[in-house]
Amino acid sequence: MKRYWFVLFASVLVVGLCVFSTGTQAQGPIAQQAGTSPGITTELLRKEGMLRQEFAKKGLIWPAREIYIRSFKYDSQLEVWARNSDNEPFKLFKTYKVCVMAGTIGPKRIEGDYQVPEGVYYISGFNPRSEYHLSLKLNYPNESDKLLSDKVKPGGGIYIHGNCVSVGCIPLQNDQVDEVYLMATAARLSGQSYIPVHVFPIRFDNEQSLTYYTKYTFNDVDLQHFTANIKPIYDYFEQHHEVPLIGVDLKGNYNILN
């Protein structure tokens, strides 16, 4: 193994991905524990009943035990995967339509560039009374971003949220973010302290997306390098339906440690 891994970042991932938390399972409806306003709580209770049924149809336990989220910018999609324990593969639960794609293909590198970040993140905060209905905060800038983005103003405040508007976040319709927020809350209350969120420029298995990406990045070597660096993370999950353990080296590159 290379000697220059960021030990703290790698340790966080080890805790989050290699050890399935055995925290106390949530008691009672998740919607009533989410801390939302009364009107939203009523709607979340209805949504939770639907999610319970949909989980059961896919052989998944509700409340959700563990989830994984990944999003594809150009394809405007957000997927939620789930599993009942860490000794089984993730199952695709649902794919949601992302309302708006702010910016273009490529990572976020400076405040005000309107870019949706690309790379390896996790949910670092829950806002049940967001001005954007409900919101889940991502830990941008991560350790890679801190090395490769602007050192003074890398930007921040990146969320998965509702209201279908964006200046660099991942926006969904309110009824869709209700579901994602409920699943993330359920997983957290069930003991999953680390909920990974991976953001890719395109679906690499979509020929149309690949064609667009090839044309868009034809003369951009740096962007080609960045995408080549994160694609193995996509490939690993496609092959194993398991989130890989990931580290960051001193150049800001992601590396799979499994």
In a domain, 172, yes or no: yes
Q: What pLDDT sits at residue 103?
A: 85
Supply 140's token pair: 């941008």
DSSP category for residue 163: T
Q: What pLDDT sits at residue 67?
A: 98
Cβ pair 243, 15 in contact under 8 A? no
Q: Give the global pTM.
A: 0.91
Q: In what order do the strands lie in the sheet with 170-171?
A: 91-97, 77-83, 66-72, 196-200, 119-130, 133-138, 159-161, 170-171
Q: What pLDDT sits at residue 26?
A: 53
Question: Which portions of the chain are predicted below pLDDT 70?
Answer: 1-27
Which residues form the domain of 130? Answer: 7-256
Partners of 255 in the beta sheet? 247
CATH number at residue 174: 2.40.440.10
Q: What pLDDT sits at residue 79?
A: 98
Q: What pLDDT sits at residue 100?
A: 87
In a domain, 1, yes or no: no
Q: What is the mean pLDDT of the chain?
A: 91
In a domain, 2, yes or no: no
Per-residue model confidence as pLDDT tens digits over 78-93:
999 999 999 999 999 9
